[in-house]
Structure 1
Amino acid sequence: MIDAIPMQRRLGVAPDNIVGPGTLTALFARFGAKVEVAQELGLAAAVHFRTYGILDAPRRLIHFMGQCGHESGSFRYMEENASGADYEGRMSLGNTQPGDGKRYKGRGPIQLTGRSNYRADGATLGIDLERHPEIVAMPSLGLLTSCLYWSRTGLNALADGDDGVAIGRSINRGNPRATKPANGEAKRIAFTARVRALVLP
């Protein structure tokens, strides 16, 4: 369980020891989200973080926020800035049709990418993300797909072990044991350290 009172005091939130929408909104805002985006993320996180076990332990919250904060440019970008053309024809992502690279570029805090991933997440969530990929750029839905990825790839267990390097390589390289560092590995670690300093007593 998370002792939220120290974090709430640092965030300037009434210390009730409940990690709810208000506390989570303040947390996203502290790490860069604009007011409207922070509110949407906070509301969604109050539901999805519990569903996916991210609020079950402080390290899970710390690593999720650290990795997603890096991936999304401090929660400012819910859609990849690049056009997605680099993903064109990438069979490993299921991009089999012309235009798939741009259509299924990275969206959400963890950057859901590729037709096959949009299809699979849509099937799990009961939302036709393959037909409507652009909706993953909505902060609340993007957060949901990020939580789903986090759960599906076993990142809570890596967070419990405090293995930020493996988490970053799982997200960016698709393999927690990849020998090549994740893009921005040092920045991921630094962002996670900032979250840790705010969350832990």
Structure 2
Amino acid sequence: MEPTPTTSATPVVRAATVTTTAAPAVVTTAPQSRTGGGVIHAPGDDVTLADLKAIFGSKVSTSPRVAEGLPSLNRAMRQAGITTPERKAAFLSTLAYESTFDYALQEAGQTATYRGRGYIQLTGDFNYGPAGSYLGINLLGNPNLAASLDYSAPIAIWYWTVRRPHSNAAADNFDMGLISRYVGYRASGTQDLLRCDGFKRAYQHFSGKPAPANTKCYRY
């Protein structure tokens, strides 16, 4: 943001003598910088492609679908209250390792009808059915909708807030281990740590300060 320029007040005329009253000087505070450039996010600020690349680097898919999907993803995040640095960090680090931010990603090498799809890699009829019922669509009959621009983000939010309703609270408590348990990927301490490292980078990027030393990284 550029500093607001100072201006001079209207000249004051007294007894044929012209004097000029200067306006008070405007004091500006330089915006705080953050890792990756720019300024610290305020609650509700949209996540940009530049943010994702600065935080997650090569974990961001090169597909144009990443940029295409960001408006719907940001809208869904706001609706779900994922607006603080810690919530953004937990949610985005999860998506980085689930789908590389490609809303149409499908689980590689799998042919099952209800294989992983979309931002959160929705898997199994036990998830497709309830998610579809919640959103008012027939996901069991049309599973590819889980990897569509219209529904990939809402499904990810359904999983975060309905299937796992304490996800935001876990993020508030800097408990990435619990987030990882909620997601339910195959047990891996290495994967736990990678996701937690992503969370820490994202938190510093959005808040301008390191994550707390007691951040929980491993599932329990």
Shared topology, TM-score over 0.5?
A: yes
The structure with the larger Rg is: 2
Measured after TM superposition, the shift of residue 5 of structure 1 is 7.0
Do 1:122 and 1:130's aligned partners in 2 also have CA atoms closer than 8 Å?
yes
Contact 2:98 2:120 in 1 (8 A): yes
CA contact (8 A) 2:36 2:51 kept: no
Q: Does the 8 Å CA contact 1:24/1:45 hold for their aligned counterparts? A: no
Counterparts of 1:114 and 1:183, CA distance in 2:
25
C-alpha separation in 1, matches of 2:157 and 2:173: 18
What residue ranges of structure 1 are gaps of 5+ in the alignment?
85-101, 175-179
Q: What is aligned with 2:180?
A: 168
Three-state SS of the structure 2 residue aligned to 1:103 is coil
Corresponding letter in the other structure for 1:43? P
Counterparts in 2 of 1:146 and 1:140: CA distance versus 1, 3 Å? same
Q: Answer whether contact 1:6 1:199 (CA < 8 A) is retained.
A: no
Q: CA contact under 8 A between 2:117 and 2:123: conserved in structure 1?
A: yes
Q: Structure 1 residues 182 and 134, CA, compared in 2 at 3 Å: closer, same or farther?
A: farther
Q: Which amino acid aligns with 2:139?
A: L
Larger CA deviation: 114-123 vs 138-147:
138-147
- Could you report, residue by residue, the CA deviation over 1:94-149 in whole angstroms, capped at 9, with x for unpaired residues? xxxxxxxx110011122111113111111111121111101212255222211111
> 1:63 matched to which residue of 2?
90
Quote the Cα distance in structure 2 between the aligned partners of 1:11 and 1:124: 39
Shift of residue 25, structure 1, vs aligned partner: 3.6
Amino acid at match of 1:79: Q
- Is 1:191 the equivalent of 2:203? no
Q: Secondary structure at the match of 2:151?
A: helix
> Which segments of structure 1 move beyond 6 Å, counting only runs of 4 or more?
none
Runs of at least 5 residues in structure 2 that lack an aligned partner in the other structure: 1-30, 209-220
Instruction: Give the corresponding residue for 1:10.
Output: 36
Q: 1:159 aligns with which of 143, 154, 171?
A: 171
From 16, 23, 27, give the equivalent of 2:51. 27
C-alpha separation in 2, matches of 1:182 and 1:109? 22
1:1-201 aligned at under 5 Å gives the runs 6=33, 10=36, 19-20=45-46, 23-30=47-54, 31=56, 32-34=60-62, 36-55=64-83, 57-72=84-99, 74-76=100-102, 78-84=105-111, 102-152=112-162, 153=164, 154-172=166-184, 184-201=191-208
Counterpart of 2:117 in structure 1: which amino acid? Answer: R
1:33, distance to aligned residue in structure 2 (A): 3.2
Count of matched residue pairs: 170
- Retained in 2: the 8 A contact 1:71–1:110? yes
CA 1:186–1:38: 2 relative to 1, 3 Å: same
Residue 29 of structure 1: how far off its partner (Å): 4.7
Letter of the structure 1 residue corresponding to residue 108 of structure 2: N
How many Å separate the matches in 1 of 2:205 and 2:89?
Answer: 9
- Percent identity, aligned pairs only, is 26
Greater displacement, 112-121 / 161-170? 112-121
Give the alignment's TM-score, normalised by structure 2. Answer: 0.66
Q: Is the 8 A contact 2:114 2:143 kept in 1?
A: yes
Q: How far apart are 1:12 and its partner, in Å?
A: 5.7
* 1:68 to 1:103, Cα distance in 2 relative to 1, 3 A: same
